[in-house]
Amino acid sequence: MFRLDGKVAIVTGGARGIGAETANVFREAGATVIAWDVGASAEPNVDVTRPADVRSAVAAAIAAHGRIDILVNNAGILRDAQLVKVRDGALAGEMSEAELDAVLDVNLKGVFHCTQAVAPHMIARGSGRILNASSVVGIYGNFGQTNYVATKAAVIGMTKVWARELGPKGITVNAVAPGFIGTEMVRQMPEKILAGMVEHTPVRRLGEPRDVALAYLYLASDEAAFVNGVVLSVDGGLVLGT
């Protein structure tokens, strides 16, 4: 079960963290995986904020493999800051417009660009799986993450719209909402912060990138053919407080 033999998958943000693990799990399941990312080490180097780059990369994937069966919109960034920070009655800081725009461009518009470029090819084949990275904070909110939460909540909304629009074309669209996942970046946080994450998670551990990758694998598989428009939380039962 949960095999992807003969399938071609694109995973954005596929060079590290959850994206890299998802690419590995998909390959283990028999898929051909094209991992998009940015930076000198990425191959191919695809900036999801640039529609022309995305469409060129989609065309290259079709030329090389003849099809795209799965799109995992995993690429994302953080630029955390409080909306406003007031100290002694005076404004001491605020989230900048640049911090807002950077996160919107990658986490929200990047998902839009990639899906819009891939969907016509899936429609032509009459089948496909589109999987979007949301977050538990897109459901509950989180302190200091106005920009990030806005994008992850919006991804849930887009997922539900596209499930309606693309479902009749044979394409399912679902989202995964990870909780606290022990990526390399997270594990570099102070021990006190990590302990707080674990304390908020009923199963009393951080998630692993593979936990999320296996959720993507299920949703990408034939066994999930009747699952459409859902948000699958992979969070150990996490409920965020205020």
Compute the C-alpha angle 213/224/69, nearest 5°: 70
Q: How far apart are CA 27 and CA 33, in angstroms?
A: 6
SS3 of 175, please? strand
C-beta atoms surrounding 176 within 10 Å: 26
The structure tokens listed for 30 are 């028999």
Q: How far apart are CA 145 and CA 180, in angstroms?
A: 15
* Residues counted in the chain: 242
* Active-site residue, 148 included: yes
Q: How far apart are CA 204 and CA 222, in angstroms?
A: 32
CB 198 within 8 A of CB 155: no
Name the catalytic one among 140, 148, 216, 218: 148
Residue found by looking up tokens 């998802």 in the block: 22
* Catalytic residue positions, numbered: 148
